[in-house]
């Protein structure tokens, strides 16, 4: 029964797949030549777009890391008598600072790539 559900849709679409394979073009080289003449995004436009997108994501992550440091700091202040909660807050601050340092390092690498490119 289960195989019928798998085989029946395949048999219905099989003629469409066969017709999709009809080839009347000039071959691979003609396709490559046609693809090279397509107007659109070039590599010179693509690299700054990707670098700007990554930079924007890094800015958002940096903001989130700063908010996390502040939130963990508030949690540390609130947990005056509770050592377990204070330990979690200290770990959170430490991890947030390490994450922020990684983000800043990544932004420095992106800035270097933008200057070189």
Q: Per-residue pLDDT for 6 more than 70? A: no
Q: What percent of the chain has pLDDT over 70?
A: 74
Q: What is residue 19's predicted lDDT score, i.e. its pLDDT? A: 53
| 42 φψ region: left (φ > 0), alpha (ψ -120 to 50), beta (else) | beta
DSSP letter at 21 equals: T
Helix, strand, coil percentages (3-state) for the chain, rounded to 5, are 85, 0, 15
- pLDDT: which is higher, 111 or 18: 111
Quote the tokens at residue 107.
């932004």
The band of 32, judged by pLDDT with boundaries at 50, 70 and 90, is: confident
pLDDT single digits (tens) 39-89: 765 656 777 888 888 889 999 999 999 999 999 999 999 998 899 999 999
Pair 107, 58: CB distance under 8 Å = yes
Q: Per-residue pLDDT for 107 more than 80? A: yes
Pair 115, 56: CB distance under 8 Å = no
User: How much is the pTM?
Assistant: 0.57
Q: What is residue 9's predicted lDDT score, i.e. its pLDDT? A: 62
């Amino acid at each position: 029964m289960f195989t019928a559900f798998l085989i029946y849709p395949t048999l219905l679409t099989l003629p469409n797949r066969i017709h999709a394979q009809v080839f009347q073009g000039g071959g691979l080289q003609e396709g490559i030549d046609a693809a090279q003449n397509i107007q659109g995004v070039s590599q010179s436009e693509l690299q700054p777009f990707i670098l700007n997108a990554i930079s924007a994501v890094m800015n958002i992550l940096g903001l989130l890391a700063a908010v996390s440091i502040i939130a963990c700091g508030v949690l540390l202040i609130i947990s005056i008598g509770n050592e377990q909660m204070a330990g979690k807050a200290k770990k959170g601050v430490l991890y947030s600072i390490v994450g922020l340092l990684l983000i800043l390092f990544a932004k420095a690498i992106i800035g270097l790539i933008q200057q070189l490119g």
